Amino acid sequence: MPRKLIAAAIAAAVFGAIAFWCLTIPQTVPASALGAHTPDLVNGKTMFAIGGCASCHAVPKQEDRTKLGGGLGLKSPFGTFYVPNISPDPKDGIGNWTELQFATALMKGTSPSGEHYYPAFPYSSYQRMEISDVRDLFAYIKTLPPVSGAVRDHDLPFPFNIRRTLGGWKMLFLYGAPYKPDPAQSAQWNRGNYLVNGPGHCAECHSPRNMLGGIFTGMRFTGGPAPDGEGNVPNITQFRLKDWSASDIAEFLDSGMTPDGDSAGGSMVDVVRNTSQLSKEDRTAMAVYIKSLPAVEGRAAKKKD
């Protein structure tokens, strides 16, 4: 009997390992998703700004935000992630990437070599982007200066340094559903929804996360601890912004000034630096959408009581 139990346990372990391996295979964007397309560099620049690409990928401590050599260290509860070089450099950046590989990275979190990217790269939001916007972004980045120099590996303890386990994370938190406009809402509201939840990835910082690093369902935009562990990111639902008008929010996205005369601080300074480059129409659309977020108290507020 013990031998049969041991054999059954071994068989179950082997079956489980094979199942895990199959279920965690990195996904890719199919080539059929890329039809004929003429790149729009103006739109690509807009996606670059709202996507916050320079905020993470620009070489630290230099003013030229088009030099995307990476190197910034992002601290987290799981270790420190070092942002890669995404300049057009063919050796150290993405100069040799194809359009399909770029789309796969943004929308599936899979590298050209077929490995999972860590969700410090906010592909759980970028998955909602229109494929045409992703392609325009790629075309725009290819116009920027190449920067040589490889970035060091992430500093992550076991088991977070095992990339294959991210396949399980993606099964839980990467839905793969494209953005769908709400026909009951205005075109302006839908544009704001798309920018905030897609390329703008606002919920990635303005939402609390569970022990696996996934955003709590139903608590998007309610604030929580800053990803780097320093301070808190505010609630931007009507629980916190009930006294702000849509015009107030649009002005904040442009100048960083609050209705009471205060100004943006911390990492939001860099965010405003990005959103200020958007058109007035896009900032207003984002403001209209944010103003529509229902009031939700959030975990951080409850914790103070």
- pLDDT beyond 90 at 12: no
Q: Which two tokens stand for residue 39?
A: 């790149």
Report the range of poorest mean pLDDT among 18-27, 140-149, 174-183, 261-270. Answer: 18-27
Q: Which two tokens stand for residue 199?
A: 């390329």
Report the range of poorest mean pLDDT among 85-99, 153-167, 175-189. Answer: 153-167
Residue with tokens 């996606």: 47
Closest CA to 283 of 251, 256, 258: 251
Give residue limits of the domains in the chain: 2-173, 187-304
Q: Which two tokens stand for residue 260?
A: 């009471």
- In a 3-state reduction of DSSP, which class is residue 286? helix
For residue 116, what pLDDT is reported?
93
Task: Give the separation between CA 204 and CA 119, rounded to whole angstroms.
Answer: 10
Taking each helix axis from N to C end, the angle separating 41-50 and 268-275, rounded to the nearest 10 degrees, works out to: 160
For residue 177, what pLDDT is reported?
75
Confidence of residue 174 (pLDDT cuts 50, 70, 90): confident
- pLDDT beyond 90 at 197: yes
Task: Give the separation between CA 185 and CA 288, rounded to whole angstroms.
Answer: 11
Cβ atoms of 257 and 251 closer than 8 Å: yes
> 187-304 has which CATH code?
1.10.760
Cβ atoms of 169 and 213 closer than 8 Å: yes
Cβ atoms of 105 and 26 closer than 8 Å: no
Average of per-residue pLDDT across 137-161: 91
Sign of the dihedral through C-alpha 267, 109, 115, 103: negative
Q: For 51-185, where are the alpha helices, taking DSSP H only?
A: 53-57, 99-108, 123-126, 131-141, 166-173
* pTM assigned to the model: 0.88
